[in-house]
A and B are shown apart, each in its own frame.
Chain A
Amino acid sequence: MSTQTSPVAPVIEVRDLVTHYGTRQILHGINLTVQPGEIMVIMGSSGSGKTTLLNHMLGLSRPSSGQILLLGHDIGIMSGSELNDLRKQIGVTFQGGALFSSMTVGENVQLPLREHTQLDENTIQIMTRMKLEIVNLAGFEHFMPSELSGGMAKRAAVARAIAMDPKLLFFDEPSAGLDPVVSAGLDELILRLRRAMNITIVVVTHELQSAFKIADRITMLDHGQVVMTGTVDEVRAAKDKHMQHLFNRLLEEVPVDADEYLQRLTEAIE
């Protein structure tokens, strides 16, 4: 992916996003832009705030302050029905797949089509099969989600996410709970989707290998702040000590303050 110099409107723009969970601040002023057609990987260890950031980009939570623009629309000021219309152009693959367990795989993929379009039954069936072909699950439409393996369930979830031919696709931890081979297959699928449909893709993950393989650009999050954003090579070359820690998966040493430590232990004890 070449660096884009032409002023193309970004697909996602996050401006100074601040969020709280109760009284605890989770995100400290996140800024992020995703260009059309690129694969942006948001990386960070557990607790870095990447899932929170994703939930806000999906409009599932309300931020304390800041703006999120998806496809040029500020989702903070949209009405419920406008947001629903926007969501027809966005696909999401959740961590566990989040397939509806009471429906077959085929019905899962058909659901957005049935709810949002007036297509006739035959067209819906054909489109369902096409989407399942794309994710290599042809012939599985009559299976129940519980009968699928973890990797297959995730691919079925991808088929459902692309049912409406979205312009923007989100992946939450695509490799979570999968073995390396299956996970690599899913990475291939992500790359293939971008090639075939030219979708903008945002992947949230903590898997370094998969990030380097699929990303055009990587945003590193840590403790609710963007540590750096750059191309794969730039991130690889980063000399920042903190980044190297993240890469090498070394335990970050938290300096121990003796007084604070004692204070924590004896707090509220008389």
Chain B
Amino acid sequence: MAAEPARHGLYRCTDAVGRITVAAVSQIGYACALFFESLYWLFAGPRRRQPVSLSATALEMMKIGVQAIPITAILSLSVGIMIAIQGIYTLRDFGAEARVVDAIAMSITREFGALITAFLVAGRSGSAITAQLGSMRISQEIDALQVMGINPVRYLVAPLLIAMLVMLPCLTVLADVMGILGGGLFCGYELNMDIQSYIQRSLDVLNANDITQGLLKSAVFAVLITLVGVINGFAVTGGASGVGKATTHSVVAAISAIIIADMIFTFFLNR
């Protein structure tokens, strides 16, 4: 009898691991299917007389991108200042404070611009996507679309995905500019550097690869935020509390996915 609970525990553990693995793989498969179906509607929709709505896409662009401009600007400015403070403090030991300009320019464009923007949009729009689709699911609005012969992926997901893919890189460019500017403000104050030479120095150290690396990542983040938001929204069950739970889960999952994807991409892009 003594061996029984142990085997039982192992059995349960294996069972749980198996189930989680199957669920994860099926979620990834579902996400890929959603992604390709959205692309399919984008290109094949007009031929089948069911185009992806331009006005819906523009509306989502407003909500995801344009309305996020002020907060993106403020946050990336703050991050720029923060990196300048930390950079100057660290480099002071080597007497190389002036090199902080390189550090700011590189880290903002390659990493922080895209990352900060993605976090912000995941919190702002990823959660909104889940909440909206989730409440549509529980009030049967998604079923209603389906029985009207309107494909929910074409009507709801494709505009979101396009809007996100356009706006997230745009916001990232804004974040890059504002972040570098923030660093410049602090350097000007702390190191008595004039802003013109700061900008000149930044432009000298940056090359196209730094910028494209950030933008490429932001496009990947855009897909991740949209798909995580959509999957969690479509999967809502259990009324209003279900929507709340799904929204929380969506933000946490999106941010986790962003960080892990960032690590993987950074690894491969810098080989």
Q: A92 — which chain B residues lie within 8 A by C-beta? A: 144, 147-148
Measured as residues with beta carbon below 8 angstroms from the partner, the interface class of chain A is: 20 to 34
Query: Closest CB-CB distance, B57 to chain A, in whole Å?
Result: 15
Whether B141 and A60, one on each chain, are in contact in the complex, defined by CB atoms closer than 8 angstroms, is: no
Whether B140 and A112, one on each chain, are in contact in the complex, defined by CB atoms closer than 8 angstroms, is: no
Complex A-B, nearest 3 residue pairs according to Cβ-Cβ distance, in ascending order: A87-B149, A84-B149, A98-B140
Q: A123 on the interface (CB 8 Å rule)?
A: no
Among residues of B, the one whose C-beta sits closest to the C-beta of A86 is B149
Q: B146 on the interface (CB 8 Å rule)?
A: yes
Can you give 22 A-B contacts (C-beta < 8 A)? A58-B146, A58-B147, A80-B151, A84-B149, A84-B150, A85-B149, A87-B146, A87-B147, A87-B148, A88-B148, A88-B149, A92-B144, A92-B148, A94-B144, A96-B140, A98-B140, A98-B141, A98-B143, A98-B144, A100-B141, A101-B141, A115-B150
Query: Closest CB-CB distance, A159 to chain B, in whole Å?
Result: 13
Q: B139 on the interface (CB 8 Å rule)?
A: yes
Chain B, range 120-175, C-beta contacts under 8 Å to A: 135-136, 139-141, 143-144, 146-151, 155
| Additional A-B contacts beyond A84-B150, A115-B150, A118-B49 (7; CB < 8 A) | A80-B151, A83-B149, A84-B149, A92-B147, A96-B139, A96-B140, A116-B149
A95 to B143, CA, bound (A): 11
Number of residues on chain B facing chain A (CB within 8 A):
17
Q: A111 on the interface (CB 8 Å rule)?
A: yes
Q: A86 — which chain B residues lie within 8 A by C-beta? A: 149
Q: A202 on the interface (CB 8 Å rule)?
A: no
A59 to B140, CA, bound (A): 14
Q: A94-B144, A115-B50 are in contact. Are A101 and B139 (CB under 8 A)?
A: yes
Q: B143 — which chain A residues lie within 8 A by C-beta? A: 58, 60, 94, 98
Q: A90 on the interface (CB 8 Å rule)?
A: yes
A81 to B49, CA, bound (A): 11
Chain A, range 83-133, C-beta contacts under 8 Å to B: 83-88, 90, 92, 94-96, 98-101, 111-112, 115-116, 118
Q: Which of B136, B139, B141, B151 is in CB contact (< 8 Å) with A84?
A: B151
Question: How many contacting A-B pairs (Cβ < 8 A)?
Answer: 57
Query: Closest CB-CB distance, B139 to chain A, in whole Å?
Result: 6
Q: Please give the residue numbers on chain A whose beta carbons come within 8 Å of chain B beta carbons, in ascending order.
A: 58-60, 80-81, 83-88, 90, 92, 94-96, 98-101, 111-112, 115-116, 118
Q: B7 on the interface (CB 8 Å rule)?
A: no
Q: B49 — which chain A residues lie within 8 A by C-beta? A: 118
Q: A60 — which chain B residues lie within 8 A by C-beta? A: 143, 146-147
Whether A94 and B48, one on each chain, are in contact in the complex, defined by CB atoms closer than 8 angstroms, is: no
Among residues of A, the one whose C-beta sits closest to the C-beta of B144 is A98
Query: Closest CB-CB distance, B217 to chain A, in whole Å?
Result: 32
Q: A90 — which chain B residues lie within 8 A by C-beta? A: 147
Whether A98 and B139, one on each chain, are in contact in the complex, defined by CB atoms closer than 8 angstroms, is: yes
Q: B149 — which chain A residues lie within 8 A by C-beta? A: 83-88, 112, 115-116
Whether B148 and A111, one on each chain, are in contact in the complex, defined by CB atoms closer than 8 angstroms, is: yes
Query: Closest CB-CB distance, A126 to chain B, in whole Å?
Result: 20
Query: Closest CB-CB distance, B59 to chain A, in whole Å?
Result: 10
Q: B146 — which chain A residues lie within 8 A by C-beta? A: 58-60, 87
Whether A112 and B150, one on each chain, are in contact in the complex, defined by CB atoms closer than 8 angstroms, is: yes
A118 to B148, CA, bound (A): 16
A94 to B142, CA, bound (A): 11
Query: Closest CB-CB distance, A121 to chain B, in whole Å?
Result: 14
